[in-house]
Amino acid sequence: MNVSLRTALAAAVAATALATTLVSPAVAAESTEPLEYVALGDSYAAAPLVPPVDPSNLLCLRSLADYPHIAAKALGAELTDVSCSGATAEHFTASQYPGTKPQLDALTEETDVVSITIGGNDAGLVPAALGCVNLLAKPLGSSCAARNTKGGVDTVKAGIDAWAPKFATTLHQVRQRAPHAEVFVIGYGNYIRPGGCFPTQPIWDVDATYIQGATDHLSAVLRTTAEQGGATFVDTYSLGIGHDSCAAPADRYIEGLVPAHVATPLHPNANGSKAIGRALAAAVLTTTRTG
């Protein structure tokens, strides 16, 4: 663990301890430094439409209540959030919109923590999910699972596998820009339970199982690549059990095709972002304590 990260971790622990001790906040501030945390990624990280909106870049549809902000608050970290809706791995090194810098430009040698969620747009998961919508029950309509596996080849999973080396390159580029940082790769979540919940979510049972399986495959690729690249993978599937788009609206972490909360369809809502942010903060504290 580098000196800056060790000192910053002490700050996070001290901040937690303040709730139960008589340590002065002023003394703690003088003796410690906050974590320098940079958040990279796509709309799963940015939580588009979840209020309040980040006014610093309206094109990215980034929320001030996205999981990076939740994690940063829990850690007492200084956050630079450059996650952006619609981002692909290409936008880590190239501008996504006029006036929007490549995301990796936010990294420096002083960066202590980096979080990344990327790959959903690269793999075309959102269009694939939308292609699974069936407003009418069987046998009307057609199955996206059947279409995407025609001829015995799963085109969605094949696309994910073909993209994996690009993500490995992206992780290497992060390491080059932030050589002292702990890197956390956040997986995609529990969108819809096995068998779905037609007609609550207008996706046939076989297609619900298929599209969640494709999402799980992407998360598995992210996990494997992260571990091979020395990064820590943060699972968001298990924390979403019982909180998928089939759950009662009050229990959902992921919105369905017709959102029950102010959020983008098929994306984390405020409660989902909060749960992911807390999981990330816990992973940061666990990793840095043992690192």
- With H, G, I as helix, E, B as strand and everything else as coil, classify residue 219: helix
Could you identify the residue written with the tokens 């990327």? 118
Catalytic residue among 43, 83, 115, 143: 43
Sign for the pseudo-dihedral over CA of 200, 205, 207, 209: positive
Q: And the tokens for 72?
A: 């940063």
CA separation for the pair 186, 216 (Å, rounded): 12
Task: Identify which of 156, 178, 51 has the alpha carbon closest to the alpha carbon of residue 110.
Answer: 178
Number of helices (H), then strands (E), belonging to the chain: the values are: 9, 5
* Partners of 183 in beta bridges: 114
CA separation for the pair 184, 182 (Å, rounded): 7
Q: Is 69 annotated in the active site?
A: no
CA separation for the pair 76, 112 (Å, rounded): 13
* Partners of 116 in beta bridges: 40, 185
CA separation for the pair 289, 39 (Å, rounded): 21
Q: What are phi and psi of 234, to 5 degrees?
A: -110, 115
How do beta strands 232-234 and 182-186 pair? parallel
Q: Is 24 annotated in the active site?
A: no
Task: Identify which of 272, 222, 264 has the alpha carbon closest to the alpha carbon of residue 242.
Answer: 272
Catalytic residue among 69, 91, 243, 267: 267
CA separation for the pair 285, 229 (Å, rounded): 20
- With H, G, I as helix, E, B as strand and everything else as coil, classify residue 116: strand
What amino acid positions are annotated as catalytic residues? 43, 267
